[in-house]
Structure 1
Amino acid sequence: MPQPTTRARPTGCPGYSEALPRKPESVGRARRLVRVALAAWSLDELADDGALIVSELVSNAVRHARSRSLRVTVIRPESVRVRIGVVDKSKRLPEVREPREGAESGRGLALVGALAKDWGTDRLPWGKRVWAELHGEGRG
């Protein structure tokens, strides 16, 4: 299993990034990556929300993107601000929907919006990045 990589971004903020296959089992690996990054930055209080957010974003990419892989990124632009992103090669933008009663799906982005301080989509020349930000108290 490939290990996540840590690297300084051109802006100087630390980050973790991992390419994953577009398969349902990648959700668990993405959650672990988020938990590792948050623990390294002493932002453990964000771990549960971060894991749930990345689960929803990766699940959406697995379900809707058409590429063989996706990339999960976790960056820390400020000491207590974390941005979790999922990059895929689909140019189709995500839509927040009202789930039908009894539906087993369709609530993911509404949940992301409820948990995140902010969220959005960046269009890329070859796809998109869907991201969500969390703000913590921090101890480090």
Structure 2
Amino acid sequence: MPPAPHPSPRLELRLHADASAPGRARRALERLPVGRAVREDLAIIVSELVTNGVMHGAGGAITLRARLGPTVRVEVWDDGPCFEPGPAAMPVGGVEGGRGLPLVAALALRWGVDGGRDGCTVWAEVGA
């Protein structure tokens, strides 16, 4: 009889919505069995998404989930209002902010937003 398949590696982490959350989220990614280039892309993506959760959430907890399969999917949930993603274009001139989602769009194979009455999940997938 063949051995039972191993479940895909997963990560779930609950974070306080404060300035330390992006760094804690990046450090948690070290547990995933992925290569250096993928980990670096994930670190940027997760940093941006968690920072957005801190800035735009209602101040409660933020949840980071990651699942490894044919792609690595990361999801960041916060208790703030959701939004419809628009074109991901970098701001020009001296505008401060607004670069996070264009970075996510540039690094991810695909990304999106799932909303509900209890908050917002922004997800992204990168090649494993």
Do the structures match in fold with TM over 0.5? yes
**Identical counterparts, % of pairs:** 35
For residue 22 of structure 1, what is the aligned residue in structure 2? 17
Matched, 1:57 2:49: yes
Alignment of 1:5-84 (within 5 A): 13-37=8-32, 41-76=33-68, 78=69, 80-84=70-74
Secondary structure class of the residue paired with 1:66: coil
Change (3 A) 1:20 1:44: same
Partner of 1:123: 115
Instruction: Look at both structures and tell me which one has the larger radius of gyration over its CA atoms.
Output: 2
Moved more, 115-124 or 41-50: 41-50
Residue 105 of structure 1 pairs with residue 105 of structure 2: no
Distance (Å, rounded) in 1 between the aligned partners of 2:90 and 2:126 = 24
CA shift, 1:98, in A, is: 4.8
Segments of structure 1 that go 5 or more residues without pairing to the other structure are 1-11
Distance in 1, matches of 2:99 and 2:34, equals 30
Residue in structure 2 matched with residue 8 of structure 1 by the alignment? none
TM normalised by structure 1 equals 0.77
Aligned pairs, number: 120
Q: After the TM superposition, which segments of 4 or more aligned residues of structure 1 sit over 6 Å from their partners?
A: none
- The 3 A distance-change label for structure 1 pair 26 and 82 is same
List alignment gaps of at least 5 residues for structure 2: 1-6
Q: Matched residue of 1:105: which SS? A: coil
